[in-house]
Amino acid sequence: MAKRQEQEEARPGATEVAPDVLRLELPVSLPGLGHVNCYALLDRDGATVVDPGLPGEASWKALLERLGDADLELRHVHTVFVTHSHPDHFGGASRLARESGARIVAHRSFDWPRRPHEHVEASVDDIAAQREELARQLLDDPEAISALERARSPWDTARGAATPMAEERWQRFARGEFRNVPIVSHPVEHGQVLCLGGRDWLVHHTPGHTQDHVCLQDPDTGVFLAGDHVLPSITPHIAGVGTGPDPLKAYLASLDRLAEVPGVDVVLPAHGHPFADLATRTADIRRHHHERLDKLRAISRELGAATVEQYMQGLFAERSWGWMAESETYAHLEHLRQAGEAESYDEGGRLHYVTR
């Protein structure tokens, strides 16, 4: 299986992907991902920096190098825009604002999720596929072992399947080293117009992946900053808890709204390469989730009332079983229940679902 573009390692330099919009690829060490796209929106006063990467010295050094490649210094950064409350997007925001004097802009509901599984970026299928590819590489490249360890999630540790590197990562989460949450000085709302990079951007609130996720659209140039809401080749993780009462419903509704946005010529995602057809990609992702819902209905017809774990084992290949898969399964089951297409009850302290 070829490596997904979102899993490619960060490349140096600054690439112009739209007029006065630069793509700066920053390294990440998260399951299913190899980089995060930071964007610099240029204007005569300096630059707005969108999603300045993870906290920590490695990411900060990469950010400074990329800004330097774009002939930008810290003093040129007047605004930091954060698409949503995951650490690979907001982690560098506080330091960047502190050292540049920039304002921090994000949705008014911006909040750091308190449970570790809530900041998973990619779906468990995409993460499992990455692990399999890395495992195959071990046959030819012993150095790939470190990449395989980076691909493990904190939930592997909780399940007792951790490598030392994964265990250390879990301890960092437990100690709160990723909780360098920025103070949003300029909160925004859906439908608001922001002047960034010398142009007007329309704010689209797109909950689902997180409750506070926002995208930005420039109607004049056809540029659309998509964050994690729409990625070019992988599916964003939809957590079953901590992202609203029915995160899948919110996500699908947000996809529907974006599919109707006119005049989008280039989509700039938070991971992977720019792409052109927003409506087609949103339709593909929507189809993926509806196929999942159909499969859950089929599992229910076969098993009758079953636990989330039993549904998870029928929905995912064994390589993906675990807490993250259960979280995604729970999100889909709750979507069916709240739509009146399933019911749930507690038996022996475990939640059981049956579809209608």
- The model's pLDDT over 46-74, given as tens digits with 9 standing for 90+, comes to 999 999 999 999 999 999 999 999 999 99
Query: Which stretch, 140-154, 173-187, 253-267, has highest mean pLDDT?
Result: 253-267
For 281-355, CATH number out of 1.10.10.10, 3.30.70.2190, 3.30.70.141, 2.60.40.10 equals 1.10.10.10
Give the C-alpha distances (Å, rounded to integers) separating 184 from 6, 83, 103, 109, 200: 28, 12, 8, 10, 20
Beta pairing partners, 223: 218, 266
Handedness of CA 50, 56, 62, 65 (dihedral sign): positive
Instruction: Provide the pairing of β-strand 77-81 with 46-50.
Output: parallel
CB 120 within 8 A of CB 31: yes
CATH, domain range 5-115+178-277:
3.60.15.10
Residue 138: what pLDDT?
41
- Over residues 31-44, the mean pLDDT reads 95
In terms of Cα–Cα distance, which of 251, 257, 323, 233 is closest to 293? 251
Counting DSSP H helices and E strands in the chain, the numbers are 11, 15
- The model's pLDDT over 203-242, given as tens digits with 9 standing for 90+, comes to 999 999 999 999 999 999 999 999 999 999 999 999 887 6
Distance CA 84, CA 295 (A): 30
Is residue 151 scored above 50 in pLDDT? no
Burial grade of 197 (CB within 10 A; 0-12, 13-18, 19 or more): buried
| Residue 183, C-beta contacts closer than 8 angstroms, at least 6 positions apart | 94, 104
User: What's the pLDDT band for 29 if we cut at 50, 70, 90?
Assistant: confident
Dig out the tokens for 269 from the structure.
């995602």
- Region of 338 (left: φ > 0; alpha: ψ -120 to 50; beta: rest) is alpha
Q: Is 158 helix (H, G, I), strand (E, B) or coil?
A: helix
- The model's pLDDT over 161-201, given as tens digits with 9 standing for 90+, comes to 333 444 454 445 444 444 578 999 999 999 999 999 999 99
Distance CA 181, CA 114 (A): 12
Residue 150: what pLDDT?
41
Domain spans of the chain, in order of start: 5-115+178-277, 281-355
Distance CA 245, CA 306 (A): 21
Q: Is 10 helix (H, G, I), strand (E, B) or coil?
A: coil
Mean pLDDT of the chain: 86
Distance CA 142, CA 89 (A): 31
- Over residues 297-325, the mean pLDDT reads 94
